[in-house]
Amino acid sequence: MNCPGADELNAFFESQLAEWEFARRNFEALRRIETKTFDLDGFLIRVQFNPARIVSSAAKVDAASVVARKCFLCSENQPPEQRGLPWGDGYRVLVNPYPIFARHFTIPAAEHVPQSIADRYGDMLALARCFDREVVFYNGPRCGASAPDHAHFQAVGKGAMPLEAEVGRFATEKVLEASGAAAYAIRDYLRGGFVIRSADASAAAACFGKLYEALEVLPADAEPMMNVLTWYDSDGWTSCVFPRTKHRPACFYGEGATDLLVSPASVDLAGVMIVPRKDDFVKITAENIRAIFNEVCIDDSALQRIVGKLNIG
C-alpha cells in the first residue's frame, strides 16, 4: 500500500498552496474567520462563520442536480492547479480548496463510484494510521457529503474539534465486544452515537460491521445514514459513529427568523458548527444548536434500540 509519510504530506500541502492561488486565498482567509463558543451541559460547540463553505453547506445533492453537474472529485474535472498525491490502493489525496481548518484534505477514490462506507471502513482505518496527525472523517450520502456520487474521505489536523477531547467522558457504557475491539454508547451528548476502540484494525472492522448491521436503512437510502470520524494514536484506533435520522434540519428551509443555513456533517457533530452566512452567525443560539442536533441525530430511544440489537446473542 502506498502510504506517504508526514514529511511528504506536508511538502505536498505547502506546494499546493504555493501553486494554487485560489486555495491559498481560502486558507489565508481562515485567519480572519469569526467564531463563538457555546457551553452546552459541559461540552463545547464552536460556531464558525466561514463564507467559503456555502459551496458545501448549500450544495444541491438531489439525484437530478448531481447528474446535471460535473463531478469535482474526478481528476478530469479539476482545475489544472489541483494535483493529487497517490495513496493506498486507488485513492488520491487532495488539498481541499474550501477549508474549515488550517490543514484540510479530501481523499477521493480514483474510480467514480457512489459514496459508501460498508466496504471502505478498512481503508479509513489505514488512512488514519498512515496520517496519524489527522482526524479522518466520512460524511454519508445524505449526511453532509457534497459529492454523494463519488466515494471519498476527508482529513483535518488533530486538535481542531472538541469531540477529540470530550468523547472519553461521554462514552463509558460498553455495548459490544468483538475480537479485541469494543464499542461504547455515547449518551448525554446531544447527538447519540457509538465509539469503537481497538489496537487491532481487523478487530475494529469486525466491530464496525456488527454496528453497521444493527443500524436502520431508510427506504430512500442505500446504507444507514451516518457520520464517522476516526483517528489513530499510541493506544490504537478511535472511531466515533453518529447515526442520523435526517439530512438537513427544518431551519435550513426556513424563512425569516426561522431561517438558518446549517447543514450538519461530521465536523459539526464533532463540535464545530459551520455557518456560511453572517446573519446566521450573529443570531444562532444555544437553543438553535440543541434543536438542530435533536432533529438530525438519533434520540435515546433509537440509541437503545440499536444497543438492543447489538446485545442479541
pLDDT score, position 219: 85
For 46-86, the pLDDT digits (tens) are 999 988 887 666 666 677 777 778 999 999 999 999 999 99
pLDDT at 313: 41
Q: Phi and psi dihedrals of 158, rounded to 5?
A: -60, 155
- From CA 97, how far away is CA 176, in angstroms rounded? 39
Q: What are the boundaries of each domain within the chain? A: 34-70+114-310
Cell of 67: 447528474
pLDDT for the residue numbered 1: 66
Q: Tell me which residues of the chain have a pLDDT lower than 70.
A: 1, 55-61, 256-257, 312-313
- Decide if 22 contacts 79 (C-beta within 8 A): yes
Phi, psi of 276 (to 5 degrees): -85, -5
**The residue to which cell 482545475 is assigned:** 79
Confidence (pLDDT) at 55? 67
Residues 93, 13 contacting (CB under 8 angstroms): no
The enclosing H or E element of 168 equals helix 163-170
pLDDT at 56: 64
pTM reported for the whole predicted model: 0.95
User: How many residues make up the chain in this entry?
Assistant: 313
**Distance from C-alpha of 208 to C-alpha of 309, rounded to nearest angstrom:** 14
Please give the span between the terminal C-alpha atoms of the chain, in angstroms, as a whole number. 36
User: pLDDT at position 221, please?
Assistant: 86
Q: Note the pLDDT tens digit of each residue in 264-277.
A: 999 999 999 999 99
pLDDT at 256: 64
Q: What is the CA radius of gyration of the chain?
A: 19
pLDDT at 148: 92
